[in-house]
Amino acid sequence: MRMPLAVWRLYRQALPQRALHRPRLQPGPIRSIRLHADPSGNYQIRWSSPARRVIELEVNCMTPGAWLGLHLPFRVSLFRPKAGIAFALRAAAIPPLPVYAVLRVPQGGARFRDIPFDRPALVLPQTGYHFGACSDPLPLSRWREFILFLPPAQDFCLTLHDLQLGHLPGRQ
């Protein structure tokens, strides 16, 4: 996969050097996976987590909602303050899917803020790698979630083979 040189440099800085030469990405600091759907939508969802996969997801949309998101909370302690975050994922989907990654942080009470990554990923039927970075400093918070927003108005099958999160160098 070709990517802009600036993104590759951020990715190289964010992840351990040994991870760049592995044929497979290693799982990141993910605690659990949840799929949240707009309550106004009606979906039939089947999922599994077989060996060597983070998740396999089959979604049949009967009535589309406004959003559909795969939520992956992670430990806050693994990321430095004043640093951005990068992700690398390996996935396949039928049909091809645009996937939008955001970082969700609390804003006080039940409010939250979604910080988008630099660009969406187009997940194709053949397994491929996707990289993204958010260079904004991470705000201090008691929790954070990495969210992959999926198309809420179509049927699809998504296999997330691997996911890794890493921090970008902090700003001085």
| Domain assignment present for 73 | yes
Nearest Cα to 30, choosing from 13, 53, 10? 53
Note down the domain range covering 161.
5-14+31-167
CB-based burial label for 155 (10 Å; 0-12, 13-18, 19+): middle
CB-based burial label for 64 (10 Å; 0-12, 13-18, 19+): middle
Give the domain CATH number at 47.
2.60.120.260
Say what the pTM is. Answer: 0.77
Q: Is residue 103 a contact partner of residue 134, using CB atoms and an 8 Å limit?
A: yes
Per residue of the chain (172 residues), give pLDDT as tens: 444 455 545 555 555 444 433 333 334 445 578 899 999 999 999 988 888 888 999 999 999 999 999 998 876 665 666 677 888 999 999 999 999 999 888 887 788 888 888 889 999 999 999 988 887 777 777 778 889 999 999 999 999 998 888 777 655 4
| Domain assignment present for 172 | no
Q: For position 25, what pLDDT does the model report?
A: 35
| Domain assignment present for 82 | yes
What whole-number distance in Å separates Cα of residue 47 and Cα of residue 34? 11
Nearest Cα to 92, choosing from 38, 52, 61? 52
How many CA atoms lie within 13 Å of 22's alpha carbon, on the beta-carbon side? 14
Counts of helices then strands in the chain (DSSP H, E): 1, 11
Range list of H helices, the chain: 5-14
Count Cβ atoms below 10 Å from residue 84 Cβ, excluding itself.
Answer: 25
Q: For position 49, what pLDDT does the model report?
A: 83
| Domain assignment present for 22 | no
| Domain assignment present for 26 | no
Query: Structural domain tally of the chain?
Result: 1
**Angle, alpha carbons 158-25-17 (nearest 5°):** 150
What whole-number distance in Å separates Cα of residue 171 and Cα of residue 77? 18
| Domain assignment present for 65 | yes
Which residue type sits at 55? I
| Domain assignment present for 74 | yes
| Domain assignment present for 24 | no
